[in-house]
Chain A
Amino acid sequence: MDFKNRDIISINDFSKEELLHILKAARQMEQKPNGSLLRGKLLAALFFEPSTRTRLSFISAMEQLGGKVIGFSTASVTSIQKGESLWDTIKMTSRYSDVIVIRNPLEGSARLAAEAADVPVINGGDGSNQHPTQTMLDLYTIQKAKGKLENLHIGFVGDLKYGRTVHSLAMAMSHFSPTLYFIAPDELQMPESYLDELFQKRVKYFKTSDLGRFSKELDVLYVTRIQKERFPDPVEYGKFKGIYRVDMEFLKNVKKDMKIMHALPRVDEIDKSVDATEHAAYFEQAANGIPIRKALLSLVLGKLK
């Protein structure tokens, strides 16, 4: 399987086999670190909006493999402020680097960047559309924690309407015959378009607003933050804030090996006391960003098959 010069734009661009190949490469990165694999290679990290985990883990991954990084972490320092188009910015940057990571709030910006660039482009998040490397590290976390991806019972709780991580992970999991549980109030439930797609793919799913209802069934619970910035009306936000809370009381009724995931940052949806339990997988999940991004950088630069 050759990923050389391949763009990583949307999770929907990848087959089951390709996803498994990437996870295998990530495992290889973790087991046999090679500090000089990307020596002489330059990554352009173009972050047009703030990001902590994604930006730092890409920089860390590149530098741990012996590569170097250029870039910016806010659009205000770029020529975009002077009216330069994204197309031109990318065209120019691709002459300065061997690979580009882009985060931009406009949806579809990464796809456009890939069309403009002469080097591979990795999407670090384009608005509420796609964040494929997050989905890949989520898959990697599940595979590592559960030892498999097939036939798992996975719950998603919180803001399922706007949460792109949930949408992408549900789509990616559809390759692996899962049973999915969408736990949210009606106003924040999984959008019909995704449910329609899951139905087409014959994925079994349940919808509920009660966190406790399927707690005994779950192998994994993916918790999301109710995002304040999504609500124009603070009263509306107040209605849903703190509606679900994963705490020690909840954990009394779950499988012993049930794992809790969260893309972070969290507010109060997971109680701190849960961190010390065997269920907590969210810091491990954040750490898995490194091997996944190392694998992707090495694959698209042709240094790993």
Chain B
Amino acid sequence: MARRKAKRKNKQEKIRPKRIDANAARQDPKKELKISAIGEGTVIDHIPTDATFKVAEILGLESHNGVVSIATSLQSKSIGKKGIVKVAGKSLTQEEVNKISIVAPNATVNIIKNYAVREKIKVKSPEVIDNVVKCSNPVCITNNEKIPTKFFVVRKDPLKIKCHYCERSMGKEDIEII
């Protein structure tokens, strides 16, 4: 029992608020910002910093009723600069997690219950992306007829996807979420 408690404590520590590197923040602690830990919900970590807002967009968090905390340009040993999104009161499903793989293939997703990590969900890059991304080609049939879009993942890093219908290839910079 004691070991289990210790283990739980460790997990708690992992999700403690982390310091944000807001440029000069290291030199002047007064300028530090913090995001509070969440009791229930989801923490998405290791998002490439420029994809952080896209992740929030893909998950439709602008209409989420609970607290959503978004941080970008945090220092990360593994990916340089990273972003974190914390969503209070919402546990993401595997299907939702896979959707963000388009822009954040190496993100780690922790489901939080009572301030502890209850479950870790691994982002799986799908081979096919159904009805998440809008085709960048204005004369593509999907932009002219009400049908779901479909893309094939041609390359994962750097991301390249191809429209099933018009065969136009798109990079991460062209991606617009439906």
Contacts and interface: CB of A to CB of B under 8 A. Distances in A.
A237 interface: no
Contacts of B142: 108
B141 A109 contact: yes
Interface in A84-120: 85-87, 105-109, 111-112
B137 A87 contact: no
B147 interface: yes
B169 interface: yes
A105 B139 CA distance: 8
Given A10-B167, A12-B167, A107 B146 contact: no
B163 interface: yes
A127 B145 CA distance: 15
A130 to B, nearest CB: 7
B140 interface: yes
A10 B165 CA distance: 10
A127 B139 contact: yes
B113 interface: no
A75 to B, nearest CB: 13
Interface residues of A, number: 17
B146 A108 contact: no
A137 B166 CA distance: 22
A193 interface: yes
A86 B146 CA distance: 10
B167 A108 contact: yes
B147 A87 contact: yes
Contacts of A108: 140-142, 163-167
Contact of A86 (B137, B139, B145): B145
A107 B135 CA distance: 11
Contact of B141 (A10, A12, A86, A193): A86
Contacts of A85: 145-146
Task: Decide if the interface of chain B is mainly helix, strand, loop or mixed.
Answer: loop
A192 to B, nearest CB: 10
Most A Cβ at <10 Å: residue of B139, B140, B141: B141
B44 to A, nearest CB: 31
Interface in B123-178: 137, 139-142, 144-147, 163-169
Given A85-B146, A87-B147, A107 B169 contact: no
A181 B156 CA distance: 30
A111 B137 contact: no
B142 to A, nearest CB: 7
B139 A107 contact: yes
Contacts of B166: 107-108, 126-127, 129
Nearest to A116: B147
A86 B137 CA distance: 18
A164 B36 CA distance: 55
Contacts of B141: 86, 106-109, 111-112, 126
A78 to B, nearest CB: 14
A48 B137 CA distance: 20
Contacts of A112: 141, 145, 147, 165
B146 A193 contact: no
A268 B4 CA distance: 83
B147 A129 contact: no
B140 A106 contact: yes
A12 B166 CA distance: 12
Instruction: Find the residue from A86, A107, A129, A130 having the highest chain B CB count within 10 A.
Output: A107
B165 to A, nearest CB: 3
A109 B142 CA distance: 9
Interface centre among B145, B164, B165 (most CB of A within 10 A): B165
Contact of B167 (A106, A109, A130): A130
B147 A107 contact: no
23 contacts: A10-B167, A12-B167, A85-B146, A86-B141, A86-B145, A87-B145, A106-B139, A106-B140, A107-B137, A107-B140, A107-B165, A107-B166, A107-B167, A108-B163, A108-B166, A108-B167, A109-B165, A111-B164, A112-B141, A112-B147, A112-B165, A127-B139, A129-B166
Interface of B: 137, 139-142, 144-147, 163-169
Q: Top 4 nearest A-B pairs by Cβ distance?
A: A108-B165, A107-B166, A108-B166, A108-B141
